[in-house]
Amino acid sequence: MSGNLQWGGRFQSAPDPALIAFGSSLEEDLALAAFDVQCSRAHVLALRGGKIIAQNQADELIAALDHIAAEIESGEFAAFARNSGAEDIHGAIDVRVRELTPAGAYLHAGRSRNDQVATTLLLYAADRAEKGKQVAARIIDRLLLYAEAERKEGTLLAGTTHWQPAQPVLLAFYLGAVAEGFMRDMHRFAEAASKAKEFCPLGSGALAGSTLPLDRKVACAALGFRQPTRNALDAIGNRDGALDVAHAFVRAAANASRMSEELIVWCAPAFSYARLGDEASTGSSLMPQKRNPDPFELVRGTAADLSGRYAGAVASIAAIGFSYHRDLQVTKSIIIGIVERGLAALDAFERALSHVTFNRARMNALADANFTVATDVADALIANGVSARDAHASVGAAVMRAEEEGRTLDATDLQRVAEEASLSGLDAPLDAKASVLAKKTFGSTHPDEVERALGTLRREIEAAS
């Protein structure tokens, strides 16, 4: 057997190299390298706390692990790991420790790759969740900067449902809506990071704990977990914490995708609501005139990809029993892919968003086109005692007449629907600005409500920073 595999004492034949290669997770594991060093440092403390190794051995092991941490930071360790013959990053680090000090032969005492993988993946997940929280905060800040500027300008927008003009809103109101979603993402990342660091699996062994007196509490504290896991069998097969972090990235990418979809449409010349700067646009190899919003299209595609991957991650654990099964290696790979790709997509979204400019004149001009004030007219009838059903029918008929005559709703329409309802007159907004100012409810698009909501978001983001 190869001396660089962490098993083999009971085997008579060397493993098939092709099958070892098939079972290797080294490439995706490289993202975990720094966290495995942290895990190993904590295990040294647990060994020393249980008087399983001497102080000089502990010192040598810590020094070796510090040396490897520096190699990981510089990028040097990746080449060593690929040439080590190890199946995964945990084995590669074990090989390197044994090269650096004879004490390395004691490092794996009382430890299985099972609890090592579970712990390292949680450390990684918590770290990336914090990074996800930070990029979500940057996106919110960017949206608020835009929203605060557009609120001062009073920029109007034809809010849509089904991609059809619906009611006038402030552009700042729309931007605030997007920011609210990312605020939920930021809290989701924070909660996932906290949950990932709740229980420390290190010291669980393969599935039953250890007969060695490992000091699990000192290892737990060193890694920043709140307490050791309570059940070793559950601990080594549990991937809930990492899945929660992956889910947070899936949800945040979905929010980024939704705004990306709108911006893609808005940047099309037929809309011309927005323009994406040259710094974030791409061209065509054939058509010289093209300006493509590729970053937003890639974010949209990535969100779909991550959603599918997440379903695969959950499916990969649904059929396995308790304790460790090699299927969990696939789970780990999927989670790392979701997290790394998700983080990259969110960062790209924020960068591309910073190069968007809004066409205020175009938005204002179309804010009350296509009868977006019709609902306000119906509301005015209802306020004067007309039933909602009758008001809807009356204004619908007025819209049909105006559409046939090629005009917008005007004062003559107000007079006609008032007469049909036996009213002496009717006061209702007939333009987008008046429509926005007429809103009365908490959380509406009224400028005062938008200002209040943006202020709340600003205070919340500042408190979380």
Which of 364, 393, 417 finishes a domain? 364
The domain containing residue 145 runs over which residues?
Answer: 117-158+169-213+227-364
| Residue 163 maps to a domain | no
* Predicted pLDDT at 1: 39
Q: Looking at the structure, do residues 269 and 207 belong to the same domain, yes or no?
A: yes
| In a shared domain, residues 239 and 249 | yes
53/104 same-domain check? yes
The answer to whether residues 252 and 317 belong to one domain is: yes
Look at residue 293 and give its three-state secondary structure: coil
Residues 100 and 127 in one domain: no
Same domain (yes/no): 268, 305: yes
Q: What CATH number does residue 196 fall under?
A: 1.20.200.10
- Overall domain count for the chain: 3
Whichever domain contains 40, its CATH number is: 1.10.275.10
Residue 75, in any domain of the structure: yes
Both 285 and 413 in a single domain? no
**4 part of a folded domain:** no
Residue 28 lies in a domain: yes
Beta-carbon neighbour count of residue 79 at 10 Å?
10
The answer to whether the beta carbons of residues 215 and 53 sit under 8 Å apart is no
pTM of the model: 0.94
Whether the Cβ atoms of residue 196 and residue 125 lie closer than 8 Å to each other: yes
Q: Are residues 25 and 173 in the same domain?
A: no
pLDDT truncated to tens, each residue of the chain (465 aa)? Answer: 355 666 566 777 777 778 777 888 889 899 999 999 999 999 999 999 999 999 999 999 999 999 999 999 999 999 999 999 888 999 999 999 999 999 999 999 999 999 999 999 999 999 999 999 999 999 999 999 999 999 999 999 999 999 999 999 999 999 999 999 999 999 999 999 999 999 999 999 999 999 999 999 999 999 999 999 999 999 999 999 999 999 999 999 999 999 999 999 999 999 999 999 999 999 999 999 999 999 999 999 999 999 999 999 999 999 999 999 999 999 999 999 999 999 999 999 999 999 999 999 999 999 999 999 999 999 999 999 999 999 999 999 999 999 999 999 999 999 999 999 999 999 999 999 999 999 999 999 999 999 999 999 999 999 987
Structure token digits, residue 328: 């969990």
Count CB neighbours of 209 within 10 A.
17
134 and 72, same structural domain? Answer: no
End-to-end CA distance of the chain: 52
Rounded-to-10 torsion of CA 315, 318, 323, 327: -30
Give catalytic residues, as residue numbers.
162, 284
The pLDDT, as a whole number, for residue 24 is 83
Task: Give a yes or no: residue 432 inside a domain.
Answer: yes
Q: Indicate the residue among 364, 381, 406 that finishes a domain.
A: 364
The answer to whether position 164 is within a domain reads no
Residue 125 inside a domain? The answer is yes
Same domain, 121 and 100: no
Is residue 310 domain-shared with residue 438, that is, in the same domain? no
Domain end marker among 307, 333, 364: 364
417 and 387 share one domain: yes
CATH number of the CATH domain containing 411? 1.10.40.30
DSSP readout, 186-242? HHHHHHHHHHHTSEE-TT-TTTT--SS---HHHHHHHHT-SEE-S-HHHHHH--HHH
What is residue 86's three-state secondary structure? coil
Residue 465 lies in a domain: no
